[in-house]
Structure 1
Amino acid sequence: MTALGAGALAATDPGAWQQVALDWRAWAATAGRWVAELRTCAAGLRAAWKGAAADALAARIGGLLRRLDLFRLGCWAADQALSEFAAALARARPGGDIASATRADEDTAAILDGLFAVPAGPPGGDPPACTAGPEEVARWWAGLSAGQREWLCAARPGWVGSLDGVPAAARDRANRLMIDGLPIAGSLPDRLADGDGPRAYLLAVDPAGDGRAVVALGDPDKATQVVTQVPGMTADLASYGGELARAERIAVRAAELAPERATSAIMWLGYDAPDFLGEASGRSSANAGAPALRRFQAGLRATHEGAPARQTVVGHSYGSLVVGTAAARPGFDADSLVFVGSPGVGVDSAKDLHAPPGEVWASTSRSDIIQYAAVSPRSLVEDLVVSQARPAGALLAFGRPEDDLYFGTNPADPSFGARRFASRPGGGHLGYWDEGGPALDALAAIALGRGDVIPR
């Protein structure tokens, strides 16, 4: 394929390609409604009709349902390819980057040429063991034919969608198929259907209990930099929309600072976040979530296309303890660690975290309640003594932020050794993502690897 000309690139409207992507997404939604109606009819037939003829009709309906599922998988593949093509054109146009636009054109054409691959049946050999690492899973997936991958996405969507080491595009399609009939309502399905902003990739979902979900905005396997954000206490499927919107602001601001570079922002709720302050005062949720976060980050590294992406992991509130626990052991796939509004990260020094030199960052707003509410037992005793020992002691003891918190030294305290950045004094516990604020600028700059522009 010949390179695009400068005139053709300038005249190309990324929005038109995005609309085509949305049309494919709409076809998938329409087919989903047909599937739901057919399943209802099939259930009614099985209840009211028995015998060979009923069995034959049920088999025909089952075959039709499988073909509709394959059609939806193909629609979502087209939606993904065209959404990413539109985003690539938008990045290329301001600087006239013909080479990147041509590569995107070739990649998109290859995906579209392979749409609606005929399933080849189940792959031979043994699937990866449950103990297999993401690198091993990635090698197994790469060795499958297109038809075998399509069969797995259609026949075992829940399993494929949960596998770290399977590319984000395949996981998203499998998970979208898998959530049919699951009790998931509200902001998550709305964002998956939304045509505004970067395309959402559903990388994991589990409605059990309070619910878990992992959503990437923009394909992380194609991005130049990937930001994984881990939320804190009370995060669940019901609050997921707000959590995801905050992560998206980092990607949007990064695109404003470096419009030629692709940033994928991920909201990683892959653990059971504490619901109450009593639960949040212990480490059990973080200890349970840290291995899953380590595996997820390794999966991002294993499936990424081309040169490795810069991987930044942001922990907010209790999520910073999850990140700190994951980074306390060697081999955590993160190029930068960021802690905001932290109750402590499980260690007392940045030197105890496995991150590249100078790549541990922290900020806590002066008005963030975390540094007043998450005081360590030792500091609480000292404050009680001070409050009783002198006039105005209560104000002296409890009217100032603490640096000795539930889970160690406040990472935003100079003694911790992180690189600190500014946040709005009145921003409270959620102001780090306020548009126009210094903390959001810092988060985007860190994601881009531009530590020289961080406000001190």
Structure 2
Amino acid sequence: MTAETVYLRLRTTDPSRWHALAAAWRRWATLAGHLAAELPPLLARFAGAWSGTAARAATDRLHRLGRGLAVFRVLCWQADQAISEFATSLDRARALLSRAAAAAARGGLTIADDGTLRGGPSAAVTPDLTAALTAADRADATAVAGLSFGPAEPPGPARPSCTATPAEVHRWWSGLTPGEQRWLLATEPGWLAPLDGIPAADRDAANRLLFDDRRVRPAAAHGVQHGLDTLTDTLASEDGPRAYLLRLDTSGEGRVVVALGDPDRAGNVLTHVPGMTSDLASFNGELTRAARVAARATEVDPAASTSAVLWLDYDAPDFVDEAASAGQATRAAPALSRFQEGLRAGHQAGPAHQTVVGHSYGSLVVGRAAASGENLADEVVFVGSPGVGVNSAAQLHAPPGHVWSSTSGSDVIQYAAVSPRGLAEELTRAGFGVVEPERHLWFGENPSDPQFGARVFASRPGGGHLGYWDPGSRSLDALAAITLGRPPVDNG
């Protein structure tokens, strides 16, 4: 399309109509799921009351109908994904266009119907206008490609081994035709759903196929059931970026990994690792915190696409005695590392800028993962930390100068998680009437202490343990800037 055509369409389009269309495809998938749920009881009745050649033929027909409904649901979600990402890209492009129009008006200029500036060139207008047209044109081309569907077809027998790396899994998956991928999603979702290296959009389809069964299990604890009800609303929501279900485990207190916006398409990917008492019942509050960072990043730079991921794929401590041990963090670290590796392997059009934020006990999970091997992410961030398992940023496998930390002056963690050595020093200081943040914490040196070597950014003094994501706070602005690959304006 010409720049004039792109501009005219962008100026007049209403992204909310595209969001509504995507939601309609999700509803079709839900309806097909209700129909598919009626088949197993029907097959069971057939098996108990009917036999012979006709019964076998009818049963085979019903099995094929069930598979067809599963393929239909996958197609619905793929349409939903393509249209949702298109709508979100239009949201960002229109935000850029509004910013360009406002800058033009301030300079006494206008944007003509052909998308050019009238009244003279302006360095304040041109970049946003160009970025808006580029984003809209790219979104249109991507949506067209994403809406090109073909029939499902059985693949060959080759499968990655259980020891395959996420990169190997991704190479195998990319070697299949779209029809073969669609067949596997419809027939083997339980195997594909947790595989790191499978694209986020395909993992989402596999997990959604399994979701109805998990949601109605009578053995689920009350808190898990409440979390599943909330997750149902999140997956169906028409507000904000589309949710991608990347992992769900309803055993115990439940685990979940949810992305807002496709992380395989976003230029920036934030992974939020929560701390003590986090579980499926409380996931929504943690997801909201991650979403605030992505939303603020988009406000700062609409040209940059940002996906926020809540990674709650570990058994977080529930009680103080559990939180006093590093065991759960140590067990969680390999899974976090593998997940990040999967994000890198599956990303489209070059690498994303990856940021991992660990909060409270989650900072120990992040620290353990960052200390154990290859670079975990481009930016490693600790907030409200009880220590991260090492005594220096130099002990982490992270790019130099890209380890960050913040601890509010009112965050009880720096006093509640004091090490025995730190407690002795604290008592000594108290004798002299001195009150200051503790340096020696339960799981190592305080990452917000200058001697640790992280880059410390400011947070609201009265924010406590959860105020780092408060709207309008300096810490939220800092987290957004770091996610965009920029140093915070105020490092504290």
Q: Deviations over 1:302-322 (max 9, x none)?
A: 111113111000000011011
| Cα distance in 2 between the residues matched to 1:53 and 1:377 | 76
Report how many residues are paired.
Answer: 446
Deviations 1:6-63 (A, max 9, x none): 1122111111111111110111111111122333333344445555544433322222
- The equivalent of 1:119 in structure 2 is 152
Match of 1:235 among 278, 283, 287: 278
| Secondary structure, counterpart of 2:271 in structure 1 | strand
**Corresponding residue for residue 261 of structure 2:** 218
- Separation in structure 2 between the aligned mates of residue 441 and residue 452 of structure 1, nearest angstrom: 7
- Tell me how far 1:65 sits from its aligned partner: 1.2
Q: Which residue of the partner structure matches residue 403 of structure 1? A: 439
Structure 1: how far apart are the matches of 2:141 and 2:351? 21
Q: Which amino acid aligns with 2:289?
A: R
Q: Which piece of structure 1 moves more, 444-453 or 3-12?
A: 3-12
Pick which of 50-59 and 33-42 moved more.
50-59
- Structure 2 unaligned spans of 5+: 98-127, 216-224
Q: Please name the residue that 2:33 is paired with.
A: 32
1:278-297, CA deviations, whole angstroms, 9 ceiling, x for partnerless residues? 11111111111111111111
1:163-187 Cα offsets, whole Å, 9 max, x none, are 1111111111111112221145222
2:321 alignment counterpart: 278
Query: Cα 1:47–1:440, aligned 2, differ >3 Å: closer, same or farther?
Result: farther
Write out per-residue CA displacement over residues 172-226 of structure 1, whole angstroms, 9 at most, x where no aligned residue: 1111112221145222121111111110111111111111111110011110100
1:375 Cα deviation from its structure 2 partner: 1.2
Query: Structure 1 170/438 Cα, relative in aligned 2: closer, same or farther at 3 Å?
Result: same
- Larger deviation, residues 208-217 vs 400-409: 400-409
| Shift of residue 432, structure 1, vs aligned partner | 0.6
Paired position in structure 2 for 1:8:
9
* Counterpart residue number, 2:138: 103
Aligned counterpart in structure 2 of residue 161 of structure 1, from 175, 188, 193:
193
Counterpart CA distance in 1 for 2:262 and 2:365 is 24
Identity between Structure 1 and Structure 2 (%)? 57
> Quick one: distance in 1 between partners of 2:488 and 2:329?
32
Counting only pairs closer than 5 Å after superposition, residues 193-208 of structure 1 correspond to structure 2 as: 193-208=236-251
Structure 1 segment 419-434 matched on structure 2, within 5 A? 419-434=455-470
Map 1:49-448; keep pairs closer than 5 Å.
49-50=50-51, 52-93=53-94, 94=97, 95-96=128-129, 97-114=132-149, 117-125=150-158, 127-183=159-215, 185-383=228-426, 386=428, 393=431, 400-448=436-484
TM-score, normalised to structure 2, is 0.87
In 2: Cα distance, 1:284 partner to 1:410 partner = 19
Aligned 8 A contact 1:123 1:144 in 2: no
> Measured at CA, do residues 53 and 377 of structure 1 come closer, stay the same or move farther in structure 2, by a change above 3 Å?
farther
Deviations 1:56-97 (A, max 9, x none): 333222221111111100000000000000111122232443
Q: Is the 8 A contact 1:229 1:265 kept in 2?
A: yes
- What is the distance in 2 between the residues matched to 1:106 and 1:256? 24
Hey, what does 1:19 align to over in structure 2?
20
Contact 2:375 2:399 in 1 (8 A): no
Output the CA distance in 2 between the equivalents of 1:288 and 1:228.
Answer: 18
Query: Does the CA-based 8 Å contact 1:327-1:353 persist in structure 2?
Result: yes
Letter in 2 for 1:23: A
- State the alpha-carbon separation in 1 of the partners of residues 462 and 53 from structure 2: 72
Structure 1 pair 2–158 and aligned structure 2 pair: CA distance change class (3 A): farther
- Preserved contact between residue 376 and residue 397 of structure 2 (Cα < 8 Å): no
User: RMSD in angstroms over aligned alpha carbons?
Assistant: 1.9
Assess if the C-alpha contact under 8 Å between 2:455 and 2:491 holds in 1: no
- Distance (whole Å) between structure 2 residues aligned to residue 39 and residue 453 of structure 1: 58
**In the aligned structure 2, how far is the partner of 1:123 from the partner of 1:314?**
40
